[in-house]
Structure 1
Amino acid sequence: MSYLAATHMTCGYGGANIIEDCSITVERGEVAVVVGPNGAGKSTAMKAIFGMLNLTEGSVLLDGQDITHLPPQDRVPKGMAMVPQNRNVFVLMTVQENLEMGAFIREDNIAPTMEQVYELFPVLYEKRYQLAGELSGGQRQQVAVGRALMTQPKLLMLDEPTAGVSPIVMDDLFDRIIEVARTGIAILMVEQNARQALEIADQGFVLVQGQNRFTDTGEALLANAEVRRSFLGG
């Protein structure tokens, strides 16, 4: 069984279902990417996996344990961390204070983890005493990812991590995501930059109208003529 097995998920926001019979799996140390057109249900699927929406059908298993009915705050100690697309830093706190907030559930020494975050994102060390609200968009994303890593997650979920950043910053962030996966953490990422995301993906899921349209390796999806024509611009 996959480390994360979110299978046959169906849910919405009180009216019609946004996702229906949607399945997403991730292995330890792998990057899984969810792509698709606007309104396909990508972010909804992430919220369902993290427990922010109740499923009407389906289940979510993490490392073989059924967490379908756990609220988000109880999934974090199980090893889940999620970085939302918007408002994902405390703008009136310093970079270091943001990272410390990420470790609020921990009772051990957080210094080694903070050192690892600073090694992964050297600019955060340089700006550790600067308010997060004064940083560039790309630097804020690094703070948000770093704060999530402070929880020592086994599954890191990223909702549009490169939204609004330059291509150079996007490439650098993707490089850092690969580094995180190499430590054994499972990465699940929703991305609008589909082609670039699939280039680093071990597994890819193409959602259309809340359902799985294509599921394959990132390499295979990039080589699929229909996927290229319909979702990657040819």
Structure 2
Amino acid sequence: MGTMERGEAAELLKKTGMIASLRGADRDRLAAAAQWLYEGGIHALEIPLNTVGAYYLIKDLRKQLPKKALIGAGAVLDAADAKAALEAGASFLFTPGIDKKVIRFGQDVKVPVYAGAATPTEVIKAWKYGAGGVRLFPAVSLGPGYAAELRHELGHIPLIAAGGIGRAQAAEYIRAGCAAVCLDCAAVTLGFSGADAVKLAAGLAEEIREALRPAEEEAPVGR
């Protein structure tokens, strides 16, 4: 992605509202799913690095999808992972926890890092270290109400809810104040393919856009 400051990173996710995570053993199937998601209006995709052939998939998708597609790497454990992901073409990084070296690396190359955190202390620490935002994980265990309470106290820190969220709950996290939600691809397409998958992705993308509208109109701090 080149050059992206922390504020720009927050704006980017605020506009997309949703990230789909692609994981599995079949690279061709994942590439096809990425196409269906993109055509359905979900333009931000995360490739966890513990997915077989993750770096190759990032490279493939960078060539396959339009330039405005956001392709990021998840499950980034250290600076070496981060460097390899960027070389493959990743434009943002998700970490499962808080790694100061990864965050610092992201700052140096101006690529946003969204650090995994659950408690208020962790959220504050990730932000002070320079993360572009916080990946609230595991969101399914914490719930939208927890996210809303965090936003009351830490509204200046963008939150991305991730981990076990189903499509039926996705918009609830946006209404709770999260900048975006991250869902597994299977939770978006429900196992369907082709035109059916595109239709399901489009329906969820519209739900997320609808949930984002009140927040955009009110424009609270940190959103």
Please indicate the TM-score interval, normalised by the length of the shorter structure: 0.3 to 0.5
What is the TM-score when the length of structure 2 is the normalising length?
0.40
Counting strand residues as a fraction of each chain, which structure ranks higher? 1
| Greater Rg over alpha carbons, structure | 1
What is the TM-score when the length of structure 1 is the normalising length?
0.39
